[in-house]
Structure formats: C-alpha cells, structure tokens
Amino acid sequence: MSRQKRLVIVDEKEILKILEEYGKSIANQILEGEKPKIVIPIRTFSNTIWDRKAKILRLGPRKAVREFFDIGESKRFMQTVLMLSLIVKARREGDYPTIRDLYYTGKHTIVYVDEYGKKRREETWNDQRESNAVIQDIEVATGLLREHMGIMHDAKGKIVGNVIIRSKGYEIDLSRMGSGAYAIPPNVDKIEILKVDADYVLVVEKDAIFERLNEEEFWKRNRAVLITGKGQPDRATRRIVRRLWEEFGLPVYILTDCDAYGFAIYSVYRSGSISLSYESERLATPEARFLGITVTDIEKYKIPRNYIIKATDRDIKRAKELMNYPWFKESKEWLKQLKLFIEKGEKVEIEALSGHGFKFLSKTYIPEKIRRKEWIV
Amino acid sequence: MSRQKRLVIVDEKEILKILEEYGKSIANQILEGEKPKIVIPIRTFSNTIWDRKAKILRLGPRKAVREFFDIGESKRFMQTVLMLSLIVKARREGDYPTIRDLYYTGKHTIVYVDEYGKKRREETWNDQRESNAVIQDIEVATGLLREHMGIMHDAKGKIVGNVIIRSKGYEIDLSRMGSGAYAIPPNVDKIEILKVDADYVLVVEKDAIFERLNEEEFWKRNRAVLITGKGQPDRATRRIVRRLWEEFGLPVYILTDCDAYGFAIYSVYRSGSISLSYESERLATPEARFLGITVTDIEKYKIPRNYIIKATDRDIKRAKELMNYPWFKESKEWLKQLKLFIEKGEKVEIEALSGHGFKFLSKTYIPEKIRRKEWIV
C-alpha cells in the first residue's frame, strides 16, 4: 500500500497560530510599505491534475496573485482578509460559527466615495457562494481544512463497529450504540481513533440499508466497520473513511446501487471530487474498492426482469462523463462495466437483491464477494 | 399538562402475535365459508379531524371495507395480504427489511386467465407508493407503527444531552458523545429512556446549528436536551421528542428560521401532519412551543436590513395555508405572526442573529427567550 502518513493537526493553539501568521504576513507587507498581495493556489478545473501514482486528484502548481491595488482583485482581497479576521476572532473566542454564520457576520454595506466624488455603496458579499469561496481560498493558502478552523456545517455520516475513539476527553465505544449509531461530527480530525478491531470498512450508500445492517448486527458477525455517507458523502464521512484506511490499513469497500450516481459516489470516496481536489490528500481513499452492485451482477445474481429500472438519459450522460475520468479510463474492469451500462441502459438498486430473501445481501452477497475478491477498482 | 400515558409495545413476540392474529382473522373468514373482507380506517384528508382537546390531528371514525370478491377492491385486498405475509415472515425470521426491500420482495407478475379465456399478466404492484400505502393500511388496522414491525427506513435525527438510554442491552449516555452525537434509530420505541437530567428539550431545525451548539456544549451549560430533525423531521425524531415530553414532562422548544417552512416544521412537531394523522397520538407533542425566530423578532432584535430575505410567492402561499390550520387559526399570537409575515413578505434565517456576535444565539437569544417565556404557541 502506498499510504502516506500525514500529521493531523488537532491542537487549537497551533491552528490559531497558523491563521494569525497568515494574517500577519499580509499586514507586514503594508507595514513595510509594499503593495499588499496574497498568493493563493488556483482551484479551477484547469489546475486540477490526476496524480497517477498516488491515485488521487490534486491541485496543480498554478497560483493566483491577488493584489490590493489591482481594481479587479481588490474586492476579493478585501473578502479574504475580512473572512480571515472573522475566523481568527472565532478561534480566539472559542466560537464555532457555521459557514452561514460567517456569511452573515461578514456581510455589511461599505459606503465609499469613488474617483468622481460620487457616493457609492457595495456589499462585502452578496451571497454565500462568495463567502464560501474565500473560506476555500484560506484553506488552500494555509493548508488547513475549514473543519480545523472550527467552522461548522451539516454532517450526515454515521458509523458503528468495533472502534474506540476519543472525543472531548470521552472514550466512545462505537460498538455500544444499540439500534442507533454514532453521528460523525464535522471535524473528524479532533477525534482520536484509539482502537480498531475489525477486518474491513463497509461503506453503504443508503441510510436505510445502513439501518438494516446495523439492526441485524452485520458488522459484529463480519468484523466490519459500517459507515454511511447518505448518498454523495460529505467531507467528514470521507475523512473518517480515509483515516481508517490510512491509520489502520483497513480495506474499504463501497456498496451502492448499480447506476451512474452510485458509481460516482464510489469515485468520490476513492479519488476525490474536482471541486475539492485540494482536499483529496486528506479526504480520498485511493485504494477503496467497489463491491457492487456492478452491471454484470445483474445477470450473475439473476435479478428478475421486473426489478430492473430503465436508465434515464441523465444516467447515460453521467456514465459517459465517468468514462473520461482517468481513474475509470485506466481501469479495464470499469471501462467494461460503464460500456455495458451505457449499452444496456439498465440500472438496479441494492434492495433488488431482496428478491432472493431478506438475508441475501448480508449473508451471501457481501461476504461472498469479499471472500472471492470480486470487487472492482 | 394533559399528557396521556400510552403503553409502548416493544416485545417482539407480542408484535408478531398481533400481526399473526390479524392474518388469522382473514383466513378464518375463508375457512368459515364467508366472503373474505378486511376493514381498514380511512386515511384521507376528509377523515382527518382536529382533536381540540388533545391538540392533535387524529384519524376520524370512517372505515373502508375491502372485499375480495369486489373486482374494484380485490387487488388492494391481495396487496394487503401479500404485504402482511412478508412482514410476518420477516418478524418470524428476525429480519429488518426496508420499505424498499418489501417493495421488491413482494413485486412479481401474476399470470392469470380472465373471464374471456384470455391470458393476462398483472404486477402485484407497480411502484413503491402502492406498497407503502398497504404498509400504512396495516399500521392503522393493527395499531402498530411500521417501526414496531421491524421495518427500516432512513433516519436523520440526532440527539445529545444528559440522557441515559438502553438499546440492545447497552446503556448509552448521550452526554458522552464528544463532538459527535447519537444518531436516532428508526424504531425509537425499542429504546428505553432510563434517566433524564435536564430542564427542557431544544429542537433545532438546522443540522449546522445543532453541530455548533453541540461543539460549544450549549446543552451542558443550559441543562438542555439538544435534538435536530434536519428540516422537516422524520417519524423517529418526532417520536423521541414526544417521549421526552410525555414520559419526563420536559417542555419542548422548537427553533427554526423565520419563514413559512420553519413555521410548518413547528406545526408538524406540535400537531402532526395530515398524511400521518393516524400517528399523531404517538408522534406529536401538542405542547411544543415555538421559540423563534418570529416575525416580530426581526424588529425586536434589530436584524440589519441587508440580512433580510424577500419571501417568495411559495412562502406566502404556504403561510396562507398555515393560517387555515386549526392550531394556528385558534392562536391569536400565531395569527398575528402569520399576517405580519404575509404583509411584510420578509424572512430571516437563524444565522442572521450572528450579526450580534457568534455567541448571541446561545448566550442571549435562546436562554433569554426561555427565561422571559417569550415563546409562542
């Protein structure tokens, strides 16, 4: 395994220091009589590269220089400094604002007199896309994730299994959640994973399937860590999957519906997303394996004809896009599956396996496929 | 408080017995040479009544008789018996199918010869709406919730606080979840709530606000149980809120955005939804209080003009609908708020309070409003 150990920054003081240093570096330019500027790696598609060796998406080498005295850049410059000041303030005072809180707190009207002596008004930002974008800029500039900076957002992941973690001083045993589960917090890096006694991680796309496998204690019988990100996963779910693989060497299996949306979910867990390519190193799990349902499973597992759903034009379009992603393009097995999907135009849900009995998924499909190494990558 | 204690059925054997007895009662009709029929309370809007005293929506007294020998009813009769047999099978074998699993397992093609000697084919059901509808029929007919029958589905609620529960034999302390939370399972009635050491329940609409209040340990400082249902709540979240009120007498406060969607969320927690009126007795919390944000709060808390969002036509339409719901119609305070909302056409998000500082929501707004009894009902 070509795993790369990375220091997880959890110390609040260290984080505050990194943010303050970044702010100081801007202030120092002014104090030294320089024209203030900030240098930020470019986060566009054209600066996203596929790192074949590490098997993840990465940000390319291009950087943008944002100069305060460039009229086209000064607003974004102001927004970046404004956001940085809000985040530093929150860290100093132990607050945990949401991305939406930061949007509102920073939003105000600047009244100024332009070069023609005319009074003008401008909003610091007009919508949350603008404030979110500068948070991302600060992430790439400082190397910190927004989670490290104590910024809150929705978190939809769940986890159960023989895992003991420590969070806020409490040791939490994720095998003792009963019928419920541990709801993964936004900042996974504040959690210490103390002990894992399991053979693999099973990530299921659907929450209802998670609930069912949890209720029947699949993870206990199969020595698995069971996780769901509820469809397209959020950053926190991706981060915990990555850490279980990176820190404990657990193989990771992804179980989704057999459709373009399911394949794309696998893709995000494994290689990262274009919009968050700068995070892949911490969020992607480049050795994640697709357990199913594959297109060839439809025949192999004799899915009845009336369980099969016709793929929509959107499914086909999405599958064609996926064929161009390098990590699919460079996989013979995936090319075969995607071509077959486009050719047949058929999709199948995980629940269709229930046609062979309610226990088929947990007693036969998952354990057999893992034992026979029938995953694809 | 006019609370009504209700026995929570948690015993698996008892549940199986109720389901089997129901099946037997149908079989017995046939064995005794009667025309088989099933009687099921009608779940339509016209049979939904507002119980002013109990302050919840209820199913009215009307029932439908479904006769097997009535050509217009025989298919639904077949579907009901088919679904019942699947559920009984799952309970006997300790399986926990999802509603989607039940749809697939029951879906097959019936080939038959019609009265003209022509061979015909018919699907047991064509989509999940049909199979879900008969699950609901079985719920109203047996008085069991689908959760009691071991049927799984998505569950999106989270809870933290000084609460100790027991689930699957484990005692779980909901104050020891660290930065995470306890993900509420689909079947809340399988949980025993052993101990609650708190003064009230705070239900927040938004997950990101939940994460923030949890991270800053609001619930610990304020002796609150903190819950989110992530927008419009699912049945499990509503059930646990109801149980905390019913079994422990805790006041329940609902905190949402100031918009028609937020008001509707309060409405569902408090009085139930029309589509699930037969569940209100177990899911609604008729003394739930709306903590805010109210329309009058916009002025009172001096929300800056540029934080205010223009209400859409849909917001206004929804608010007008709400004005006709009896529990709003019979509340002078709510009528005032809704009229004002429609008149001004302005809405505000919870996060807008961050304009007064990140701590304003948790240190001022929530505790002050509760202390001064400034909620509305």
- Whether B348 and B337 have beta carbons less than 8 Å apart is answered as no
Measured in whole angstroms, how far is the alpha carbon of residue A47 from the centre of its chain?
Answer: 19
> Quick check: B18 and B144 in contact, CB under 8 A?
yes
Please check whether residue B362 touches A, CB under 8 A: no
| Buried/exposed A51-68: b ≥16 CB within 10 Å, e otherwise | beebbbbbbeeeeeebeb
Domain ranges of chain B: 12-142, 198-371
Chain A hits for B221, CB-CB cut-off 8 Å, are none
- B290, B262 contact by CB (below 8 A): no
Provide the token pair at B254.
């609902």
Between positions 142 and 161 of A, the ones with CB within 8 A of B are 150, 152-156, 158
Q: Using CB atoms, which residue from A101, A167, A216 is nearest to B179?
A: A167
Between A48-52, A254-258, B184-188, B361-365, the lowest mean confidence (pLDDT) is in A48-52
Q: Which of B104, B109, B306 sits opposite A355 (nearest CB)?
A: B104
- Mind listing the pLDDT tens digit for each residue in B292-341? 999 999 999 999 999 999 999 999 999 999 999 989 999 999 999 999 99
Q: Min CA distance, A163 vs chain B (Å)?
A: 14
pLDDT of residue B281: 86
CA-to-CA distance for A80 and A250, rounded, in angstroms? Answer: 39
Instruction: Print pLDDT tens along chain A (377 aa).
Output: 333 344 455 688 999 999 999 999 999 999 999 999 999 999 888 898 899 998 888 889 999 999 999 988 999 999 999 999 999 999 999 999 999 999 999 999 999 998 899 999 999 999 999 999 999 999 999 999 999 999 999 999 999 999 999 999 999 999 999 999 999 999 999 999 999 999 999 999 999 999 999 999 999 999 999 999 999 999 999 999 999 999 999 999 999 999 999 999 999 999 988 778 888 889 999 999 999 999 999 999 999 999 999 999 999 999 999 999 989 999 999 999 999 999 999 999 999 999 999 999 999 999 999 999 999 99
Quote the minimal CA–CA distance from B94 to chain A in Å: 8
Tell me whether residue B104 is one of the annotated catalytic residues.
yes
Reported ipTM: the value is 0.93
| pLDDT for A249 | 97
User: In sequence order, what are the residues at sequence separation of 6 or more whose Cβ sits closer than 8 angstroms to the Cβ of residue A198?
Assistant: A161, A162, A163, A219, A223, A224, A225, A250
Looking at beta carbons, which residues of chain B come within 8 Å of A178? 165-170, 172, 185, 191
Locate the DSSP E strands across chain B: 37-41, 48-51, 56-59, 63-67, 109-113, 119-123, 158-160, 163-167, 170-173, 181-183, 192-196, 200-204, 224-228, 252-255, 289-292, 309-310, 346-347
Domain A158-371 has CATH 3.40.50.2000: no
Q: Is A229 on the interface with B (CB under 8 A)?
A: no
In the predicted structure, residue B146 carries a pLDDT above the cut 70? yes
Residue-wise pLDDT tens digits, B81-136: 999 999 999 999 999 999 999 999 999 999 999 889 999 999 999 999 999 999 99
**Contact residues on chain B for A99, CB-CB shorter than 8 A:** 208
- Report the alpha-carbon angle B59-B65-B67, nearest 5: 150
**DSSP 8-state symbol, A57:** E
- Residue B181 pLDDT > 70, yes or no? yes
Bin B23: left if φ > 0, else alpha if -120 < ψ < 50, else beta. Answer: alpha
Q: For strand A37-41 and strand A63-67, is the pairing parallel, antiparallel, or unpaired?
A: antiparallel
pLDDT at A1: 33
For the domain made up of A12-142, the CATH class stated in words is mainly alpha
> Which of the pair, B223 or A54, is modelled with greater confidence?
B223
State the pLDDT at residue A11: 84
* pLDDT at A9 (0 to 100): 55
Q: Report yes or no: A181 at the B interface, CB cutoff 8 Å.
A: yes
Residue A43: what pLDDT? 86
Task: Please give the backbone phi and psi of residue B292, each rounded to the nearest 5 degrees, phi first.
Answer: 145, 180
SS3 B85: helix
Residue to test with chain A: of B96, B99, B110, B258, most A Cβ within 10 A: B96
Pick the residue from chain B with its C-alpha nearest to A126: B306
Which residue is associated with the tokens 């879906």? B107
Nearest to B179 among A191, A216, A359 (CB): A191
- Catalytic residue positions of A, numbered: 104
Give the CATH fold of the B198-371 domain: Dna Topoisomerase Vi A Subunit; Chain: A, domain 2 (3.40.1360)
DSSP run (H or E) holding B219: helix B218-221
Q: How many Cα atoms sit within 13 Å of A167 on the Cβ side?
A: 27
